[in-house]
Structure formats: structure tokens, C-alpha cells
Structure 1
């Protein structure tokens, strides 16, 4: 597997293999699944461009049927957001039986390939991970996530110089929502899918050095996902709904404030409040700072029906051992809020960040 390429540039060498391993290698191209990988992590994206998944085969006839189907997939359908999704993708295709129950004790081995400093001519093996997927809830939640957070083609239009000549031709590439990588990593590690969401709520610098708040472009998808996904506890969904209501009430108050004489525009008021809350939540380092931030947020919103009806259930997320869950859920709620009108939608889409505030990728 790649041996002929490895030796093609060298004289007087040949590819050798023991008989007991050479024979299985003849079938390796059929027994393995090849997937393209697009990840957000800047430290790993060059090291992980593609992967080979080696599933456990317990039924050759069924495997052959599923393998034939995958062979017909288009590029978009075999592009995944990291090695964890590669494992979940394979488990969903091969390990779920007709009754949507997962076959236990089955593993997937995922080998990543990418660029290395010592070999720029071809993709080299960069890591190997072994996953055991035996949680039906994780697999079912992945099926919801992957239907909503889908890869898409993006087109970059051509640019021309002052003389009208083409400077950079038009091209296309595949883009995957940045939240998908985190969600899949959490599912394969047995964690709530939203764990460490605060890391995505921090703006990142683009190639020009400007801060970009990329997660805001996933508002619609995240809102839909929250409605459909299976939470571990009812309190988690109530908590998100309460934060949605609080933010809706707060936006209504800002709308009224913007109409007062000498007041700033609605867009500026929204940006200021959003940024203040986002920074306070993402910078929360302990239970006390989180509790202070979330209670202040709720108190500014007035009466929140979800808290009135479900306070006893929500209280679990305000306990010292669960504050990180509350922080991540609050940020997920802030990002996934569905605007109630065009005015709110416009204001939230305009969110920008000032370099002087020191908000950098953590």
C-alpha cells in the first residue's frame, strides 16, 4: 500500500513482503475505506489531509454490500471533519443493524495521512487511532449532526488586476462546519457533544491577520441541531431554551434603548452586549465567575418562563462540579439563537471584532 510509490525514485530497490502479509494486502484496497479529511485545528490540518479506515468485519456478505454503496459516493459524501468522524461514519455504515442497534465490541482503526517536513512529495502516515464505538446514543446523535452540519462546496471568484487581467482564477473547495469536528471528538470520547464549545466561541485570525468569528455562520444549523439532538439530561435543553429566551428579551430591550435620543444604533448596542457576554462566558475560569455571569445575564432579561417551570432541573448545571457544562451550553445558546425578525438577523450578522481588544485564538 504505497510501497511502489515509496521506491519509485530509488534505483536498485524493490518492494518485498512476507507471504503471510502479502496475500492480505491484495484485498486491502477492498477492506479499507478511504476518506478525505477537512479539519479546523490549525496545528493538525496539514498533517491530516486524508485517512484510511479499517473496520472490523464480522459479516463478509453484509460488508461487501455496504462497501459497494460507499464506492458510489461523491466527494462531498466521503469528506469528514477529522478522524473521530471517520470512525463514526464507518460505524454508522457498517455496525448499525437493520433495527438501528449497534453491534457491540467492534473497532475501527483510522490511519491519517498528510504533509510532513521530511517528505513533501507525497502524503505520509501521520497518526493511527483505534476507536471502539459501542454507544448507540452517540451513533444516533452523529446521524443527526451529519445530516445538518454537512460539507459544502464553496466558490472563490476570480480576481483581476487594474489592467483587467486575471490575477487569481476562480476555484472551489470543500468546507465543513467547524463545530462538527468538536462534536464528533466528544461523541467518540463518551462526553456530551457540546463539551469545550467555548473554544469555538473565540475569534480566530485569518491570513490577513483580521479577527474572524467563524462560528456565527453556523447559527441556523446549530439551532436546528439543538431541536433534534438527544441530550443526556432534560436540564441541558431547558438551560439552552432559557438562555435563548433571555437573549430574546435582552434584544427587545436594546431595540427600545436604540430609539432614545442620542442612543447608539441597534446594531452597535447588540454587538456591545453580545461581545460582553461572550467574553465573560468564554473567560470564566471557575464556578464563581460563571455563576456571576449567568445570573447577571438572566436578571437583565426579566421573567424567563423556562426557568420558572424547570428551575429544579436546571439547578444541577449551577452546581460547582457542573459549571463547565453550563458555560458551554450558555455559549452554544448564544451562538445558536434564532433571530425573531430581520432587524435582529442583520445586527447579529454584522458582528465584528476589534484587534485592540486582544481576543486571539486560545
Structure 2
């Protein structure tokens, strides 16, 4: 009898290996419910504990493993069907996203799957919008189904020596030098390779739409840190995740994808109930120095820290994705991710203040205009998130200064019988902020800005605290970010922007990159 014993605490396991072991655990649990022992080859059986998997079988190793892999990795009308999560019974949205996500991460290379053609799927969003119409590659087969021959020798016996691992099995673990593949390839024991096969079962996938990164990655792969396989299986099989809609699988950045995964049920609830305290999020693609293979193009570890998760939940609620109808309604709708949430989620995931870097990242009038489309959500972020009192007072003081500045500008133009162009004033203020390259230049700008506005109640009430923030040479970048946040989040009666006109200025390509959030007015 052959025995294969795999433990979650093995020192050689990475996060991806542990995810694979959990995927194997989930697959065996599902097979246990569907296929009785007498119908399994080689009297195949197993024992499952929260941290261990033990497999037992008799006879030819290849026949048993080949049967197991073919039962584990199936197809459903051209879509990848994973036995471990019973994906055939999932909502169609989830099936399509898993299929596309695996093809966009693990199985990017054409040699890893056999395509039979392209299919079109119409996914309903809601009653108010046309469906999303997507196209995907339908498969005839993929490498997981035939991998038993790589784990066994010509006589069908389980291999004893390490085997070379391709990038599709362990994304990012690639040949270090293509001129010497036999000497620089990545190797694993057959047992570790067997575990990695099941990683796609427990991982999650998000459609990635970034506006700040010049990247072609379309999918983010989320690899959870698993400490209890039984508990994680209940998380992965949760009805909320199994029947999630297409729009629930969109993310604007790696941080957005990681935090969405960790908080989908509530504020850090997954970390408490399902023991998923952190995850890795990565993207894969071709890099200039290694065009022959897929490499990791980005990697981020995200932790489910309570304050971070709480602020992210607020961010996701007030800066949601938008369903946008294409120029030709018959072509359906698409999901436009939030520009502001991309910056905020990335900051939260990296442990920064949620507004950090706003002044540097929003470095053009076009980007500033995109940010201002979401001023309502940004204003709610200022009101609802956990911020230091000084930070909130600083934004409030800037809001008051903007209001007084607008008031004077409005009065002046009305006296002349002219149209008040608040956007021009916004550009002037934003340009002044971008010219602040050190603490001294920022102090000159902000004190001049406040002085021109006149009497500012919040500044007078909290003078000492706000002056400490302005005068501290180590805090000037934070204050500059807060000033830009105040400018982008200001809501007042003076601003009578017309969203319809703004939308008319955008062509279809722009709409795909910008969330057209409604401009809220007092």
C-alpha cells in the first residue's frame, strides 16, 4: 500500500503550497460526498484533519493519481470546473471569473491549455442596466488533467527524485537563465508538485483595472495564508462568495483586491472566523528581460488589521464601482472601477495613511478632474474614517478657506456680470500645491492661501495644533496631501457642476478608465 502524508506545518511549504494543500483537502472532501470508496481505483481512501491530508491506495500509482486529477480538474461547457469548490453549481458569474482568472494567472501560456474556440456570455447586472457581455476562451483540456505522467515513471510508479517545475505550476518560479534551463530551472519533489496542482482551487481571482499603473495585467491572483484547512474550506464555500455577482470580482489595485478578499463579509470578519489573517496578491505578465516566460510583475502582502479593514469597508461603500452603459447600448455595460479607491486601498494595504501621496500621484489636471468626480465619496471618507484630530481639522480649515475664496470670487464675477469659473480657481490652487517641493515653499503657500481667504473659524479654534502640523519640517508632505484632499473633497453651494456635460466630454475609451460618480451638492 502506498501512503502519502502531507502536513500544513511542513517547513518547506510556502503560502502557495499551503493554498494547494487546502485545495487538495477541499477536493477530497467533495469527492468523499460524491464518489463512494468502491468506485475509486486502487481502493483509494484518505484521512483529513484541519492541518493534514493522508492518502492511501494500492496498485499502480499512475492509475490512481491520473483518476484523481481527472476527477479534480474538469470542464463544464468549455469552462474550467474545479471539483474542490463544486464550481459547476456556482453562479455563472463566479464560474466565468474563475475560468478567466486561472487563464490570466496560472495558465497564461498557450501550451498549458487547448482552446476549442471563443464563447460569449451575457451576465446580468441589475434591472437598470444592460448585461455585461464578455468573451472567453473555451477549453478542450488543460495541463492539470494530464499531470500524473509527470509524477510517475514509465512503469507507473511514484517518482523518487525532484522534478522541474514550470511557471504555470508555481507562478514566478521560472527558469533563471534560458540558455541553461537544465541548470537554472526550479525543482520540487513530486509531493510538493502534487500539492501545487491544487493551488487554483483555494485561490481567488479579481479582474484588475488600474488607472495609475502602466501595466497590462488584467487579473490579480489572491493567495490566502491558511492555518486551518477545514475552517478555510467553509470560507471558500460560503454562499456569499459562491454566488457573488460579476461586479464583485473587480479591483482597482493589488491592495484593493487583497482587502476586498479579506473583508468580503465584514470588518476583518474573515480573519476572526475563518482564520485568514493575511494574503498575498500578485500579477503575472511578460517583462522586457524575460519575454519567453510569464513572470511576477507585482507582489503585495496584505494583512487583516482591524483599523485598516474598517477604513477599507467605508472606502468600498462610499467609493463603489460604477456600471456604465457602452456608447451602443446593444453592446451592453461594463464595470468602471473607482480612481480614488485605487489610491486609498493601496495606501491602506501598505500601512500608510489612506490619503498619503495624493499630491504626488494626482499630478495632472486630467487626474485631478477624475478625482473630483468622486468628491462626494471623498467627503464621506473625511467624515467617517478614523483620522487624527489634527488631520481632520486641517481638512476642515481648508474647506472653510475654499468656501470663503469661492464666495469672494463669486461676488466679484457677479458684480462684473461674468460667469464664475470655479474650476479655474481649483486648477490655480492645485498648481500651487504641485509647486511645493519642500517644507518652506509649502508653508508659504498654505499661509498665503489661508490669509487670502480671511477669517477661518477652525484655524482660529485649533491654531496651535494646525501650526504644529504646518511648521514641522517632517510633516509638510502630509499637510500637502491633506490640502489636495480638501480641494478634491470640497462640497458647497458654489459648485454647480453639471455631470451630464462632464460625461459628454469623455469618449468611450475615457469612460472605461474613469468612474463617473455623481457630483453631490449641498
The aligned residue for residue 163 of structure 1 is none
Conservation of the 8 A alpha-carbon contact between 1:200 and 1:215: no
The aligned residue for residue 75 of structure 1 is 246
Deviations 1:152-187 (A, max 9, x none): 22122139xxxxxxxxx7443221121212112211
In the alignment, does 2:192 pair up with 1:21? Answer: yes
Conservation of the 8 A alpha-carbon contact between 2:362 and 2:368: no
After superposing the two structures, state which structure 1 stretch, 234-243 or 274-283, moved more.
Answer: 274-283
| Aligned pair partner of 2:497 in 346, 352, 355 | 346
* CA distance, structure 2, for counterparts of residue 259 and residue 276 of structure 1: 20
Conservation of the 8 A alpha-carbon contact between 2:285 and 2:294: yes
Alpha-carbon shift at residue 34 of structure 1 (Å): 1.3
The aligned residue for residue 331 of structure 1 is 484
TM-score (norm 1): 0.78
Conservation of the 8 A alpha-carbon contact between 1:33 and 1:54: yes
| Aligned pair partner of 1:314 in 432, 456, 466 | 466
After superposing the two structures, state which structure 1 stretch, 280-289 or 18-27, moved more.
Answer: 18-27
Conservation of the 8 A alpha-carbon contact between 1:234 and 1:313: no
Alpha-carbon shift at residue 336 of structure 1 (Å): 0.5
SS at the partner of 1:193?
Answer: coil
Alpha-carbon shift at residue 57 of structure 1 (Å): 1.5
* CA distance, structure 2, for counterparts of residue 310 and residue 126 of structure 1: 48
* CA distance, structure 2, for counterparts of residue 171 and residue 202 of structure 1: 33
Change (3 A) 1:178 1:203: same
Alpha-carbon shift at residue 191 of structure 1 (Å): 1.3
Alpha-carbon shift at residue 347 of structure 1 (Å): 8.1
Conservation of the 8 A alpha-carbon contact between 2:263 and 2:269: no
The aligned residue for residue 127 of structure 1 is 297
In the alignment, does 2:395 pair up with 1:240? Answer: yes
* CA distance, structure 1, for counterparts of residue 271 and residue 389 of structure 2: 23
The aligned residue for residue 217 of structure 1 is 373
Alpha-carbon shift at residue 344 of structure 1 (Å): 2.1
SS at the partner of 1:43?
Answer: coil
Change (3 A) 1:274 1:339: same
SS at the partner of 1:113?
Answer: strand
* CA distance, structure 2, for counterparts of residue 196 and residue 175 of structure 1: 23
In the alignment, does 2:229 pair up with 1:60? Answer: yes
Conservation of the 8 A alpha-carbon contact between 1:244 and 1:334: yes
Alpha-carbon shift at residue 224 of structure 1 (Å): 1.3
* CA distance, structure 2, for counterparts of residue 3 and residue 259 of structure 1: 61
Alpha-carbon shift at residue 136 of structure 1 (Å): 2.0
Alpha-carbon shift at residue 244 of structure 1 (Å): 0.6
Alpha-carbon shift at residue 76 of structure 1 (Å): 1.2
Deviations 1:256-307 (A, max 9, x none): 101223x64212xx23322211100122101111111111111111111111
* CA distance, structure 2, for counterparts of residue 42 and residue 130 of structure 1: 14
The aligned residue for residue 384 of structure 2 is 228
* CA distance, structure 2, for counterparts of residue 217 and residue 273 of structure 1: 17
Conservation of the 8 A alpha-carbon contact between 1:96 and 1:102: no
Alignment of 1:277-316 (within 5 A): 277-316=429-468
Alpha-carbon shift at residue 21 of structure 1 (Å): 2.9
The aligned residue for residue 70 of structure 2 is none
The aligned residue for residue 354 of structure 1 is none
After superposing the two structures, state which structure 1 stretch, 107-116 or 133-142, moved more.
Answer: 107-116
SS at the partner of 2:374?
Answer: helix
Alpha-carbon shift at residue 238 of structure 1 (Å): 0.4
The aligned residue for residue 319 of structure 2 is 149
The aligned residue for residue 276 of structure 1 is 428
The aligned residue for residue 23 of structure 2 is none
In the alignment, does 2:278 pair up with 1:107? Answer: yes
Alpha-carbon shift at residue 104 of structure 1 (Å): 9.2
* CA distance, structure 2, for counterparts of residue 320 and residue 196 of structure 1: 17
SS at the partner of 1:73?
Answer: coil
* CA distance, structure 1, for counterparts of residue 420 and residue 315 of structure 2: 33
* CA distance, structure 2, for counterparts of residue 348 and residue 3 of structure 1: 40
* Larger Cα-atom Rg: 2
Unaligned runs of 5+ in 1: 160-168, 206-210, 352-362
Alpha-carbon shift at residue 24 of structure 1 (Å): 2.1
Change (3 A) 1:287 1:144: same
SS at the partner of 1:131?
Answer: strand
After superposing the two structures, state which structure 1 stretch, 248-257 or 180-189, moved more.
Answer: 180-189
Unaligned runs of 5+ in 2: 1-105, 115-142, 152-188, 503-522
Conservation of the 8 A alpha-carbon contact between 2:268 and 2:304: no
Deviations 1:162-217 (A, max 9, x none): xxxxxxx7443221121212112211222111111013543366xxxxx8821121
Change (3 A) 1:139 1:71: same
The aligned residue for residue 182 of structure 1 is 343
